Chain A
């Protein structure tokens, strides 16, 4: 979360003179996210201990179940690692895309809690096209369904942008409301509505076969010792990776990207530079919605091949907020944290069934990661360090909770109020 501006303002001792600046920068960018993850796992371990569980066994389960590593011992020896990795990639794909949705909004100073609604509208629109034009050939149908998803999500995000830009309606509230509207609309469509499969409840007819995204592995062959049909991982992961390139290029190499970042830094300064904040906000939300909508379209064409009611329990669009923040709203960062969040999600069921630690531990870890990133505990600790050195011997530093009671009155310029990168 350290903005480039902050690091320039604060004279920093070089880590070591012989390390190239580029590597130093990467290292510095990694410190805060890694520390946040470690903080979350440490607090999580305490909670597991207090609830009578074994933190090592639990975390082993998370990593074995999510990434296929450390699968040893009686508890996890029988877990099929290749299948777990495939599942993690399945969850990574929509997380990367919704992560970009949240991240690009953050870059413009907007908080998009509506990734979930935009994803659902993308899934609905793509399913409508996939079902309605089922007879079209694949080379036409697949792009059409994906495009429909992009448009559906963009409209849902665009509404938020227009309302924010021209009426001042806060995007946090409008996105939350639109999430509800989207989920109820989906429930209506497949429960007694026009998309319900006749004779079935709560599911739509399948989309045309041509709209199915190809799977990564041949279905008939043996892959890593298991039948290829058990692997759900599909080529949508490549679409997500291409989008990473688009996200980077758009943000860093185009005028629009410059405008988005300018508005995110300061709307007033952006106006002086001749940037219309209003139009930039609308464009940003259109793009944010498009990313999330594509995620929904990929779920339709890659995983479900229809419109299930199961989206009511989907949390991808919410997890994406953690993904974007942990990834510091950068292309590579979002990919890495999407893999982490997907692995946690996929691993949690293995942890619950094999080690008896409830899967909801993962939600707690996500919350803790967010706290840690938002509060930037590291920076606060660094600032407190001189004070700690002067403390008399034997005085233990106060834990954050207690230390917070004493209000800190230093007017250091290093404490920038701007948290959003």
Chain B
């Protein structure tokens, strides 16, 4: 009972919400990536690997050029390249998309660990000086608002980027012709093809976009929240983003809500020293919650109809 009260007390501190938004934004980037990929009909469980690749590339680029923005750009591109492999294997070779995505995750883990071991002579970690990391932006005036100022207007630059991308993605998917086409390709590729839409181009684009977004998430992790690359440092964040996407019923704002739930869970976990309950039991809560929500509310109807099915012209 005492522990519950302590957790409830945390909700009245701005620090908890500030951290929750930061961690939520970290998950939001790959979750948005998963959303666009699956809306186009390509199942993507490879956000984990693409994020890890981005995190690695960001640190290496930052160490060479001492420019966090350039490093972030490089991270996005590296994530996009990983996504291109997934796209080629699953669209061109019509492979099982889950196996291909899983292979990306293992391959990216192997590749980044291999390279960091080679570069650091088996030290296994590469640090970036704090001066070259992504900056925290304190918005003048607005950040002085009590409580909300700290939560909303004293955040890492990538938090703002993620929120902007969230709004942009929602408008793109549901308010533009391009979004309509992407959704059509994911729901009924045969019909879309008949209407003159190039199924393959849109799917390649959507999968690569998911890699760019996940790569951004990786950069946020390694040179925004941290200033180091460690082997397997994403530690399942890409998988959580996948769950958040499904949890949010393949909608950007739904995914955001789910990411915030995970963010709050992790922020509580980060404050565990003040709570007298096993940190490990506490840590299981977001995962159990995901299963419960998935089982109780989402069901199987929410996924795009052609999600996971390779497209073959002329085959119904």
Contacts and interface: CB of A to CB of B under 8 A. Distances in A.
A361 B114 contact: yes
Interface string B272-293: 0000001011011001101100
A411 B310 CA distance: 13
B278 A188 contact: yes
B287 A180 contact: yes
B284 A184 contact: yes
B197 interface: no
A174 interface: yes
Interface in B230-267: 231, 236, 239, 242-243, 246
B113 A360 contact: yes
B interface: dominant SS:
helix
Interface string A140-178: 000000000000000000000001000111101110111
A411 B312 contact: yes
Nearest to B87: A404
B99 A417 contact: no
Given A193-B278, A358-B122, A374-B95, A417 B309 contact: yes
A400 B115 contact: no
A91 B24 CA distance: 38
A176 B239 contact: yes
Q: In this complex, which of B110, B281, B312 has the most chain A Cβ atoms within 10 angstroms of its Cβ?
A: B110
A391 interface: no
Nearest to A407: B200
A interface: dominant SS:
helix
B190 to A, nearest CB: 12
Contacts of B300: 168-170
Interface stretch (A25-33, A129-137, A219-227, A362-370): A362-370
A373 interface: yes
Given A177-B290, A358-B122, A370 B280 contact: no
Interface in A368-421: 368, 370-371, 373-377, 380, 400-401, 403-404, 407-409, 411, 415, 417, 419-420
Contacts of A177: 243, 287-288, 290-291
A192 interface: yes
Contacts of A113: 102
Interface residues of A, number: 60
Nearest to A318: B106
Contacts of B239: 176
Contacts of A403: 92
A39 interface: no
B287 A380 contact: no
A352 B110 CA distance: 14
Given A176-B239, A177-B290, A321-B102, A409 B313 contact: yes
Q: In this complex, which of A113, A173, A318 has the most chain B Cβ atoms within 10 angstroms of its Cβ?
A: A173
Interface string B71-93: 00000000000000100110111
A325 interface: yes
Contacts of A163: 291, 294-295
Contacts of A51: 114-115, 118
B106 A173 contact: no
A118 to B, nearest CB: 15
B287 A400 contact: no
Contact of A173 (B113, B288, B290, B314): B290
B103 interface: yes
B45 interface: yes
Contact of B280 (A172, A184, A362, A374): A184
Given A362-B110, A371-B100, A411 B89 contact: no
Interface in A313-349: 318, 321-322, 325
Contact of A400 (B88, B291, B294): B88
B95 A184 contact: no
B260 to A, nearest CB: 18
A169 B95 contact: no
B110 A370 contact: no
Contacts of A325: 99
A404 B94 CA distance: 11
B295 A169 contact: yes
Given A173-B242, A176-B239, A419-B95, A366 B110 contact: yes
Given A167-B299, A367-B103, A358 B117 contact: yes
Contacts of A168: 298-301
Given A177-B243, A193-B278, A417-B310, A364 B110 contact: yes
A68 B109 CA distance: 27
Nearest to B236: A180
B47 to A, nearest CB: 12
A80 to B, nearest CB: 23
A102 to B, nearest CB: 11
A141 B284 CA distance: 31
Q: Which 3 residue pairs of A and B lie closest in terms of their CB atoms, listed nearest first?
A: A367-B107, A363-B110, A168-B300
7 contacts: A174-B291, A174-B295, A177-B288, A318-B106, A360-B231, A366-B106, A411-B312
Given A167-B295, A400-B92, 20 more contacts: A47-B114, A163-B295, A170-B246, A173-B290, A180-B236, A184-B283, A322-B106, A360-B110, A363-B107, A364-B114, A370-B102, A371-B85, A371-B100, A375-B89, A375-B95, A375-B100, A380-B93, A404-B91, A419-B95, A420-B96
